[in-house]
Amino acid sequence: MAKPVSFNKRENEKKKAAKRQEKQKRKEERKMSGTSSMDDMIAYVDENGNITSTPPEERPKENIKLEDIAVSTPKKEAEEPAILKGRVEFFNSDKGFGFIKDLSSTEKYFFHISSAPQNIAEGHVVSFETERGAKGMNAVNIQPAS
């Protein structure tokens, strides 16, 4: 047995059918006009970052040799070690280390007894070179200043 269809239900179905027909009609009109909405949406970016509607010109590709590509940090050029002058600020002979204060700046450099002369003491003026250590710059090749 079939259910009776109410008036409101019929009206709603008529409205849906009318909407479908309207949508189909608009779709056919777009097809007839000849322009595709996808073509209107395409945009190109030129080498300066500007958006244009014209495609970029084809350029021949530049061949790059694999040997020309360098992926690394630049090699450090060999530097002659600068000889600095300083005063021994602190020296502990029991532990075998000390600090030298550079005379030309306020920098202090750590040194180990193995890179210093035997008769070194606090207050001596010495000449030295620097070397990068684990915790900063270290004084090496320490000689009494002349």
pLDDT of residue 56: 80
Note the pTM of the prediction, 2 decimals: 0.46
pLDDT of residue 126: 93
pLDDT of residue 17: 95
Does 83 score more than 60 pLDDT? Answer: yes
d(CA 94, CA 47): 69
Does 87 score more than 80 pLDDT? Answer: yes
- Higher-pLDDT residue of 115, 16: 16
Domain spans in the chain, listed from the N-terminal domain onward: 84-144
pLDDT of residue 3: 66
Q: End-to-end CA distance of the chain, in Å? A: 122
Mean of per-residue pLDDT scores for the chain = 85
Q: How far is CA 94 from CA 71, 91, 143, in A?
A: 48, 9, 20
d(CA 112, CA 122): 14
- The residue-averaged pLDDT of 105-111 equals 90
The model's confidence at residue 2, banded by pLDDT at 50, 70 and 90, is low
CATH class of the domain whose range is 84-144: mainly beta
